[in-house]
Structure 1
Amino acid sequence: MNEHLFTPRNRGFLFLDSHPAGCARSVADMWEACPAPSGPSAAAATEGEGPAALVIGSSAGYGLAATLAGLKRAGIRGIGVSFEKAPTVRRTATAGWYRTAATADLARAAGRDLVLLNGDAFSDAMKDQVADLIERRFGGRLDHLVYSVAAPRRTDPVTGTTYASVLKPIGLPNRTKTLVFDEEGVPEVREVETGPAEGDDVEQTVAVMGGSDWERWIDHLAGRGLLAEGFATAALSYIGSPLTAAIYRQGTIGAAKAHLEATARTLNERLGRTVGGRAVTSVNGAAVTQSSTAIPGIALYTGLLRGVLGTGLVPPIRQLATLWDQLTGAAPLALDDEGRVRLDTWELTEEVQAAVAERWESATTDTIAALADLDWFRTEVRRLYGFSVPGVDYAAPVATDVPWPVPTPRAADDDSGPEAVRSTV
């Protein structure tokens, strides 16, 4: 068993390795922070016979929060899909690999039947594998699907064309403030300019981050007759502040989000007609994630938002607990005029946005420490990779070759034994 001592190595917000024990502890902390179930869902959660659910993008960010909140709050059983890299002789596994192993341990301890698959969610092979599992392991009916995929590229399984997403404004260049840290962790506020989308940049980004794959998943499962009566699905999204709108909501990503919302309306009409179901987008609030730190201006905005709200900033696990309440009927669906679930209202009030905008205008390298919660932001970035997690002994060596979790065979599976439900592809 390979054991190592770790000194975090990073390039900006990207860390080169992840800490297995820190990743596991961060998952346990999220589990503890999730509100316990109440009302009718409490019994199902306790008995381990909750609704059958599929979470696509289950190992990081809001997808991880959806998985953990679903397990604890709604008592789901089912399948999580992610795409993570295994440990090698020279490198650790990706942080999501270790978080997935920890999620499996928590699910097992709580009596939840959870199968975790590692592979390309965009592929038809993965869709077939999931459908087969639903048929033989989860009674042939799926109650919920949460779609939370953030990927830089996607290969269309029909045409074989590979599309790549870009982070660009549409129409004109965008110049914005952004937050960076040097190798010593000293903060700097810079201005960066991003050139506008060119050629087919918008179409490529929509092909990767829009609703095409979400719809393909629904089509695939419906074609196999696997959607339960009342089936509900949600794709996770973000709108954000006017301060970041040019690069986000009005940029190439925004075009993809608009496509996602249009897809939700199409799916909602179809599911309502065929299985009495629903499809919505869930607009979540700001958080520090591996995806969000790559977007110019988002790091600065999130740090300032925390400076304004402090502990009033609602973490993803609590937001997703609210979403599960709405998806399962424990609470009414609270939709805006566009048919979207809004979990970001705490962030976008006039008072909060005015306070953040005032700090944004004043933000310079000299003033940023007084305006943003930099200690919190740095810690949140490091926690994404398992570092700076309270309660972890970073002076002790830790095993890095953690195996991908393989579920316990069930009587409902076929006769080919554990290999029939092996969770890697």
Structure 2
Amino acid sequence: MTERIVSSRSRGFLFLDSHPAGCTRLVQDMWQAVPDPARQGRPDADEAPVALVIGSSAGYGLAATIAGLARAGIRGAGVSFEKAPGRRTGTAGWYRTAATAELAAKHGRDFVFLNGDAFSDTLKDQVADLLDERFGGKLDYLVYSVAAPRRTDPDTGVTFASVLKPIGEAYRTKTLVFDGEGAPEVTTVETGPAEGDDIEQTVAVMGGTDWARWIDHLAGRDLLAQGFATVALSYIGSPLTASIYRQGTIGAAKAHLEQTARDLNDRLVKEVDGRALTSVNGAAVTQSSTAIPGIALYVALLRGVLGDAMVPPIAQLTQLWDQLTGTAPLDVDDEDRIRLDTWELTPAVQEAVAERWKTATTENIPALAALDWFAVQVQQLYGFAVPGIDYAAPVETDVPWPQRTT
């Protein structure tokens, strides 16, 4: 037994430990938030659609996994890269995966979780073997949701590193930080422009190269079912953050991802009568988004404008699965992207957020932004500030990775 009290120590938005019980409760709450499909004729467990979620332990990838299991009744596999418990606790994604696996088993879903480098061909081979041996050798859906700081090319061994930089000129923006006492501050930060091969490096990590490699790998093993569909999760965001996001190095990677979708779609239509798409999701507090200058302020102001009308990731991904499975019509824009962010980008909402952004200062930010909500969201990324959890009580931290059952 390795029970201990886990404290919520942090450095800015980065927490040093994660709370297993809090992570478990949050996964349970997400599952409960998925509406019962209330459909007759759900396939038997061994006839349920087979899905692969790459990046299944956090953010929108976690929501895709839970919504797929609870709403669409998928079986298959989830892939993530998490750190096991040791001197410190495991990562939050480690505990979220364990909780998701427990719920999947409880509800009769045959879903296997693999922990490793999704960019590597070794893991691709493991997944292909699993699909072949356990799931009848045919994959119906692949959801790609990977946010990573670096990627090693399996062919060359070269490691690329992604950067968060504007393109062309330096970028100054307001941003939201919290001091050591937790008091909010609105400050200005400046980020220098991309230099050298920053854009190419970021595209190599965050673009569509690895997504296409997954499709190549699985197609090479004849594992794509007729009518196979794949979707990569993406974000466009507000004009307020466009210079650092959509028009920056990450934006270049997103543009590459969307072009990859078009190329894959042309290929899949011919090969398996399939389809490839990107899904543009709305804003959320995630471990990735909090690292982007200005995003914390933007999301807190957005919540201040929308309140409970802000659509959480689990609700968005439930909509996505309904569209992928045909329960709801496929709703795409002129560039063939599924749009789950329309609630965020209406002119009225963006005008209200922009007005608050323009006037925001340290003194008036409590009246403009949902600071308490934002602070709770950040803590909950690591399993803290979850209602009903006794954080003064010891908790078991040595939680094992979900084992495959035969």
Question: TM tier, shorter chain?
Answer: over 0.9
Is the partner of 2:124 in helix, strand or coil? helix
- Contact conserved, 1:61 with 1:289, CA < 8 A, in 2? yes
Unaligned runs of 5+ in 2: none
1:68 paired residue number: 66
Question: Could you give the per-residue CA deviations for residues 256-315 of structure 1, whole angstroms, max 9, x where no partner exists?
Answer: 000000000000010001100000000000000000000000000000000000000000
Amino acid at match of 1:85: K
Q: Give the superposition deviation at 1:47.
A: 4.7
2:288 to 291, 294, 319: 291
Pairing partner for 2:186 from 146, 167, 189: 189
Match of 1:377 in 2: 374
Deviation of the 1:48 alpha carbon: 6.3
Native 8 Å contact 1:49 1:77 kept in 2: no
User: TM-score, with normalisation over the residues of structure 2?
Assistant: 0.99
Cα deviations by residue, 1:66-93 (Å, 9 ceiling, x for unpaired): 00000001000000000000011x2000
In the alignment, which residue of structure 2 is the partner of 1:111?
108
Distance in 2 between residues matched to 1:194 and 1:75, nearest whole Å: 44
The separation in 2 between residues aligned to 1:391 and 1:43, in whole angstroms, is 34
Residue type at the aligned position of 1:302: V
1:7 aligned partner: 7
Among the aligned pairs, what percent are the same residue? 75
Work out whether 1:31 is the aligned partner of 2:28.
no
Aligned with residue 268 of structure 1, among 254, 265, 268: 265
Match of 2:340 among 339, 343, 348: 343
- Hey, what's the Cα distance between the residues in 1 that align with 2:50 and 2:261? 21
Partner of 1:98: 95
After TM superposition, the structure 1 stretch with the greater mean CA deviation from structure 2, 391-400 or 30-39, is: 30-39
Match of 1:78 in 2: 76
Q: Check conservation: 2:7, 2:17, Cα contact below 8 A.
A: no
Q: What secondary structure, in the 3-state scheme, does the structure 2 residue paired with 1:43 have?
A: coil
Trace 1:225-244 onto structure 2 (pairs within 5 A). 225-244=222-241
Residue 49 of structure 1 deviates from its aligned partner by 3.6
Structure 2 CA distance for aligned equivalents of residues 226 and 78 of structure 1: 13
Measure the CA separation in 1 of the matches of 2:259 and 2:366: 41
> What is aligned with 1:18?
18
2 CA distance for matches of 1:6 and 1:62? 26
Distance, in Å, in 2 between the alignment partners of 1:82 and 1:151 is 11
Specify the SS of the correspondent of 1:230: strand
Q: Match of 2:39, as an amino acid?
A: G
Q: How far apart are the structure 2 equivalents of 1:36 and 1:150?
A: 30
Q: State yes or no: 1:303 paired with 2:303.
A: no
Q: Indicate if the aligned counterparts of 1:23 and 1:95 stay in contact, CA closer than 8 A.
A: yes
Matched, 1:203 2:200: yes
Q: Secondary structure at the match of 1:179?
A: strand
1:250 pairs, out of 238, 247, 252, with: 247
Q: Which residue of 2 aligns with 1:417?
A: none
Q: Deviations over 1:196-250 (max 9, x none)?
A: 0000000000000000000000000000000000000000000000000000000
CA contact (8 A) 1:49 1:76 kept: no
State the Cα distance separating 1:39 from its structure 2 match: 3.3
Amino acid of the residue matched to residue 277 of structure 2?
A: V
What is the RMSD of the two structures over their aligned residues, measured on CA atoms? 0.9
Query: How far did 1:6 drift?
Result: 2.0
Gaps of 5+ in 1: 410-425
Q: Could you say what secondary structure the match of 1:111 adopts?
A: coil
